[in-house]
Amino acid sequence: MSKYALGLDFGTASVRALAVDCATGDEVTEAIQVYEHGVITQNLPGTNKPLPHDFALQHPQDYIESCTIVISKVLQHIQAREIIGIGVDFTACTILPIKKDGTPMMKIAKFRNNPHAWVKLWKHHAAQPEADKINQIAHERNESFLKYYSGIISSEWMLPKSWEILNKAPEIYEDTDIIIDGGDWLVYQMTGKFCRNACVAGYKGLWNAESGFPSKEFYQVLDPKLKDVDEKWLKNIFYPGQQVGGISESFAARTGLQEGTPVSAATIDAHSGVPGMGIYREGPISIIMGTSSCQMVLSKKLRFFKGYAGVVKDGIIPGFYGYESGQSAVGDIFAWFARDFLDRKNNPFQEISTKAALLKPGETGLTALDWMNGNRSILMNSNLTGLILGLTLDSRPEEVYRSLIESTAFGTRIILDSHTNAGIPVAELVVCGGLVHDPLILQIYADVTGLPFKVAASNQAVALGAAILGSVAAGQEKGGFASFEEAIKSMTKPPVKTYFPNKNAKIVYDQLFKIYKHSHDHFGRENADIMKRLKQIKNQIRGGNL
Amino acid sequence: MSKYALGLDFGTASVRALAVDCATGDEVTEAIQVYEHGVITQNLPGTNKPLPHDFALQHPQDYIESCTIVISKVLQHIQAREIIGIGVDFTACTILPIKKDGTPMMKIAKFRNNPHAWVKLWKHHAAQPEADKINQIAHERNESFLKYYSGIISSEWMLPKSWEILNKAPEIYEDTDIIIDGGDWLVYQMTGKFCRNACVAGYKGLWNAESGFPSKEFYQVLDPKLKDVDEKWLKNIFYPGQQVGGISESFAARTGLQEGTPVSAATIDAHSGVPGMGIYREGPISIIMGTSSCQMVLSKKLRFFKGYAGVVKDGIIPGFYGYESGQSAVGDIFAWFARDFLDRKNNPFQEISTKAALLKPGETGLTALDWMNGNRSILMNSNLTGLILGLTLDSRPEEVYRSLIESTAFGTRIILDSHTNAGIPVAELVVCGGLVHDPLILQIYADVTGLPFKVAASNQAVALGAAILGSVAAGQEKGGFASFEEAIKSMTKPPVKTYFPNKNAKIVYDQLFKIYKHSHDHFGRENADIMKRLKQIKNQIRGGNL
């Protein structure tokens, strides 16, 4: 009998199921299903009332319905008893208030039309005022958790979003038993067991293994009414690959899965890509490269420095500190320029990429700053904006396009350098995600960083990572694995391609990087108010206030 | 009998003739003729030898042939005896070596295929090494002429181009009797009289009314062989509107003009626009606004400051110091962006300009630096390049387009402010040139500067200015005028349209201007090496040297 692990990868728009042969790593079947209601930004289903700006909600039932469909599809190809373990990854910071029986607050009639009773997606940014206050007071009090996040708490995270419910819908807050992350809620739906996964608790929940959660005093200083907010949070931490329980009778009946099939604690989707890319060691930086980029580094050492969004012990793979960084726009920048500024009829990427590839490093005479969606790595400043420097009347669109690619590579190099300077050396890059099929981009990254850039074997490294979690949760006796190392060795394949750095290109890019660094420090550090001011003027004009 | 003045406007690509009624200012007839050989940048006519980079030559016979044609055309509509005076304007720094009978050196068989025997157009930039040396040594010696040019001698001017002939073609230099500006050579062709016009001598020839030409010692320090270079230059200075002589018998025979018709000393084309726009007073800044812009201010006061390319007593209109500044790219920037970056099929200007006009000041969230062709106003640095700041994933092409217009307006404001700060206040703008039909551009300039922006009545203000010179050269007794003031009052019409500044827009632009000024000073002054370095890398890569 074959032994498969099932990965369930809950993204922003859809869920994907991937069944992987534990012995060979073969991806035997997969299915994908988009959420019926998608991302809700205009108005709640069944109402006409427009949602405020910055709202991004989801319907919790969508997750259940969609994953039922993809599991059923997978079970058309393999048998339920062949599935030895299941892992779940979920977009981070996708948070919902529920009753202690798991019922989402939006299912309670009186709260149905209140957006604060719904799932708040990671990109719901309406809790910025709460985040600002948290940051201010945490710094005043010199809270010890700050150093795990380079000193910045995002509006996307658990505490700001919880506080937002209290501020905007105190009646819902009052009635809510648990405020839970989507991944943990799904695991509860599957197993009937509540737990908090270490990944989301660490990266987005202000928890760390050394000192636990923030103090009640801190919450009280924020707002006396917020004092017991932590009592609405799950606190029994489960690590990636740790078994939470087995598939419940009801979930088995709904999906066709076998009751009792082990389910791992959930993890964040990007972080799931690390095991999915075959990484369980120090040295590489793992990059999920798509519209934006997420970078993760595993290390045995804990070092506090500027340049990560979070560091969590055992948060990605037990046995390592996992450092996470991000670039808020990568593929989005290329698409913005190629689609919005150039001829829209043909394939804008194909043509401009071909032309850009004919240019030599340094030939554009341009450098750019890749902050078209702010900076969420070393500078952590959403008010920063993009810049293109060196334009002449001879500058061609393909030169601008290439300089934009180079700018994101320089942004990555800033992150790498921050790790290396802190004593956490990075020796190679490993990539998965939507941009892996673009050789120009990957070669530029290799040349800019001077490091080999390896393309992960799996096209679905994130879902594969979830499956690996499932195989570890199953454990050796059920045909799974005793450790991540064994699971990864068995279930992942070597990189399919390596881009090696060109020495001469590196020499040129070292010079351009100095210019990038100059602009980076000038507009990102010494004069960060310049770009902010431009944004403020724009917003004031649009709001009719100037 | 009607009394007409004839203006001959020698541009880069063509000559225009305009006959103007001295009593009414009516432009009764005009004709235009492009030069047969145009701008010669690839190879000399009749040879295959490629010209070096930075070369831009012309064929002197083209001027004669073309102006013969346009004069003949004009004489189909008016009678030669009705023309009471003739003025000539010419692109500045268009320089040729000749024998003392006026024969261009390129007409001498042995020099025919040597590019240094041909006309060097203003945009011939191959004398940059000579200009660099001149600047260095002039500053070491603290030469008094430097202050008339804000401390920078351009490679386009008479001395660098003369020295280039000596360096690159000493045999031609040796045989040359006179190195002459195109305008003065044309006046010689028309009258048989040699003179040097004060405009080109002052703005491009290191001459000033107070101390004359540089010392022989200076030339000798540059290069002992250059010691007597000034003996190859005309030194009898004639002012705009001063009569050099009458149309010669031979030129009359060739063209049909009446022998003895008074001809004014020549002037630079842009400078001719000042009387053509009806300006003969302190207060306005006169802007010729096309692919690039030229700005001129008349003042009774001599002030030395950074912000002009040259100040010349009586150089534009006798009785005033004329301050000249320039922006090296204006319309060129808009064309570069609209044509090269956007959909090329439709009319890119029309569509993007319409969209950009719907935006409010400050709504783009962008500011740009307008240095896509260097900076030739206050910073005088051709190594500077353009910058766009504030880009986000929401930035639209029309927002970038508008920010580029605004950047050139900010560039103009820098020039205005430099005058005002030096005690030469500017109270209004008056414009002629290719961009006067774009209301968006003119309104932005009014709003950015807070000054009314008036559109000159004539569509051919430069040629009209030349005609005015002709009417002054004719003098009162011949039916012309005793002064510029009288000529301008009679021959120019009030502005056809005034763009008044919007107070609220000015408030917003004042804020954006601070951001522009920050970038301007950072990249133009404190860190001017940044943009230069980018250019150097680009040039080294293209040259295969990196």
pLDDT tens string B504-542: 999 999 999 999 999 999 999 999 999 999 999 999 998
Per-residue pLDDT at B144: 95
The nearest CA of chain A is from the CA of B54 a distance in Å of 15
Measured between CB atoms, which of B340, B518, B540 is closest to A530? B518
Verify whether the Cβ–Cβ distance B546 to A507 is below 8 Å: yes
What are the tens digits of pLDDT across the range A83-123? 999 999 999 999 999 999 999 999 999 999 999 999 999 98
What are the tens digits of pLDDT across the range A491-542? 999 999 999 999 999 999 999 999 999 999 999 999 999 999 999 999 999 8
Centre a 10 Å sphere on the Cβ of residue B283 and count the other Cβ atoms it contains. Answer: 14
Residue B417 CA, distance from chain mean position: 21
Q: How far apart (Å, rounded) are the C-alpha atoms in residues A9 and A89?
A: 5
Verify whether the Cβ–Cβ distance A534 to B365 is below 8 Å: yes
Verify whether the Cβ–Cβ distance A386 to B390 is below 8 Å: yes
Centre a 10 Å sphere on the Cβ of residue A242 and count the other Cβ atoms it contains. Answer: 17
Q: How far apart (Å, rounded) are the C-alpha atoms in residues A195 and A185?
A: 9
Measured between CB atoms, which of B392, B400, B542 is closest to A372? B392
Q: How many helices (H) and strands (E) does chain B have?
A: 17, 22
What are the tens digits of pLDDT across the range B149-205? 999 999 999 999 999 999 999 999 999 999 999 999 999 999 999 999 999 999 999
Amino acid at B3: K
- Model-level ipTM above the cut of 0.95: no
Contacts of B540 in chain A (CB under 8 A): 362
- Between chain A and chain B, the number of residue pairs with CB atoms below 8 A apart is 146
Q: What's the predicted TM-score (pTM) here?
A: 0.92
Percent of chain A whose pLDDT exceeds 90: 93
Per-residue pLDDT at B343: 65
Residue with the bigger pLDDT between B314 and A54: it is B314
* Residues A196 and A239: beta-carbon distance below 8 Å: no
Percent helix, strand, coil in chain B (nearest 5)? Answer: 40, 20, 35
Measured between CB atoms, which of B373, B511, B527 is closest to A537? B511
Per-residue pLDDT at A235: 96
Strands (E) located in A290-435: 293-299, 310-313, 321-327, 367-369, 386-391, 428-432
What are the tens digits of pLDDT across the range A437-484? 999 999 999 999 999 999 999 999 999 999 999 999 999 999 999 999
* Residues B372 and B386: beta-carbon distance below 8 Å: yes
- With a cut of 70, say whether residue B346 has pLDDT above it: no
Percent helix, strand, coil in chain A (nearest 5)? Answer: 40, 20, 35
- Which letter does DSSP use for residue B432 in this model? E
Residue B179 CA, distance from chain mean position: 20
The nearest CA of chain A is from the CA of B447 a distance in Å of 15
Contacts of B387 in chain A (CB under 8 A): 387-391
Measured between CB atoms, which of B332, B390, B511 is closest to A393? B332
Q: How far apart (Å, rounded) are the C-alpha atoms in residues B319 and A285?
A: 72
Verify whether the Cβ–Cβ distance B385 to A391 is below 8 Å: yes
Q: How far apart (Å, rounded) are the C-alpha atoms in residues A7 and A15?
A: 10
- B262 forms bridges with which residues in the sheet? B246
Q: How far apart (Å, rounded) are the C-alpha atoms in residues B201 and B181?
A: 9
Per-residue pLDDT at B279: 97
- With a cut of 90, say whether residue B351 has pLDDT above it: no
- With a cut of 70, say whether residue A546 has pLDDT above it: no
Residue B115 CA, distance from chain mean position: 24
- With a cut of 90, say whether residue B377 has pLDDT above it: no
Given CA atoms B518, B522, B525, B528 in this order, what sign does their dihedral have? Answer: negative
Q: How far apart (Å, rounded) are the C-alpha atoms in residues A281 and A275?
A: 10
Contacts of B519 in chain A (CB under 8 A): 530
Verify whether the Cβ–Cβ distance A541 to B387 is below 8 Å: no
Q: How far apart (Å, rounded) are the C-alpha atoms in residues B285 and A463?
A: 67
Nearest CA in chain B to A382: B392
What are the tens digits of pLDDT across the range A171-209? 999 999 999 999 999 999 999 999 999 999 999 999 999
Biggest distance spanned by C-alpha atoms of chain A = 71
Q: How far apart (Å, rounded) are the C-alpha atoms in residues B412 and B449?
A: 8
Amino acid at A309: A
Nearest CA in chain B to A392: B372
Contacts of B533 in chain A (CB under 8 A): 511, 515
Verify whether the Cβ–Cβ distance A538 to B395 is below 8 Å: no
Site of tokens 């030069």: B35
Q: How far apart (Å, rounded) are the C-alpha atoms in residues A508 and A518?
A: 16
Instruction: Say if residue B535 is exposed, middle or buried (CB neighbours under 10 Å; 0-12, 13-18, 19+).
Output: middle
Q: What is the mean pLDDT of chain A?
A: 96
- With a cut of 80, say whether residue B455 has pLDDT above it: yes
Q: What is the mean pLDDT of residues A220-237?
A: 97
Per-residue pLDDT at A345: 63
Burial B468-505 (b: 16+ CB within 10 A, else e): bbbbbbbbeebbbbeebeebbebbbeebeeebebeeeb
Nearest CA in chain B to A337: B393
List the alpha helices (DSSP H) in B362-437.
Answer: 397-421
Verify whether the Cβ–Cβ distance B372 to A395 is below 8 Å: yes
pLDDT band at A342 (very low <50, low <70, confident <90, very high): confident
Distances (CA, A) of A535 to A136, A310, A540, B386, B411: 22, 27, 8, 21, 22
What are the tens digits of pLDDT across the range A98-108? 999 999 999 99
Residue A19 CA, distance from chain mean position: 22
What are the tens digits of pLDDT across the range B128-157? 999 999 999 999 999 999 999 999 999 999
Contacts of A366 in chain B (CB under 8 A): 534
Per-residue pLDDT at A348: 74
Contacts of B386 in chain A (CB under 8 A): 390-392, 395
Nearest CA in chain A to B329: A393
Measured between CB atoms, which of A363, A518, A531 is closest to B541? A363
Q: Residues with Cβ < 8 Å from B511, sequence gap 6 or more?
A: A533, A537, B362
Q: Residues with Cβ < 8 Å from B404, sequence gap 6 or more?
A: B333, B334, B337, B368, B370, B388
Is residue B39 helix, strand or coil? coil
Distances (CA, A) of A208 to A136, A269, A377, B69: 20, 19, 20, 87
Residue of A339, A340, A382, A389 to mutate for B, most B C-beta atoms under 10 A:
A389
The nearest CA of chain A is from the CA of B328 a distance in Å of 11
What are the tens digits of pLDDT across the range B388-435? 999 999 999 999 999 999 999 999 999 999 999 999 999 999 999 999
Per-residue pLDDT at A172: 98
pLDDT band at B272 (very low <50, low <70, confident <90, very high): very high
Centre a 10 Å sphere on the Cβ of residue A357 and count the other Cβ atoms it contains. Answer: 15
Per-residue pLDDT at B339: 85
Contacts of A507 in chain B (CB under 8 A): 546
**Beta strands A4-10 and A83-90: pairing type?**
parallel
- With a cut of 90, say whether residue B376 has pLDDT above it: no
Verify whether the Cβ–Cβ distance B535 to A386 is below 8 Å: no
Measured between CB atoms, which of B344, B367, B541 is closest to A534? B367
Per-residue pLDDT at A106: 98
Residue A310 CA, distance from chain mean position: 12
**By C-alpha distance, which of B482, B72, B114 is closest to B257?**
B72
Measured in residues, chain B has a length of 546
**By C-alpha distance, which of B124, B130, B122, B118 is closest to B60?**
B118
The nearest CA of chain A is from the CA of B445 a distance in Å of 19
Contacts of A358 in chain B (CB under 8 A): none
Instruction: Say if residue B308 is exposed, middle or buried (CB neighbours under 10 Å; 0-12, 13-18, 19+).
Output: buried
Contacts of A518 in chain B (CB under 8 A): 527, 530
What are the tens digits of pLDDT across the range B458-516? 999 999 999 999 999 999 999 999 999 999 999 999 999 999 999 999 999 999 999 99
Structure tokens at B293: 């812009």
DSSP string, A468-507: HHHHHHH-GGGTS-SSHHHHHHHH----SEEEPPPHHHHH
Per-residue pLDDT at B382: 85
Verify whether the Cβ–Cβ distance A389 to B530 is below 8 Å: yes
The order of strands in the sheet holding B178-181 is: B57-58, B119-120, B95-98, B178-181
List the alpha helices (DSSP H) in A179-280.
Answer: 182-191, 198-204, 216-222, 249-255, 269-276
Residue B112 CA, distance from chain mean position: 29
Site of tokens 């799931």: A272
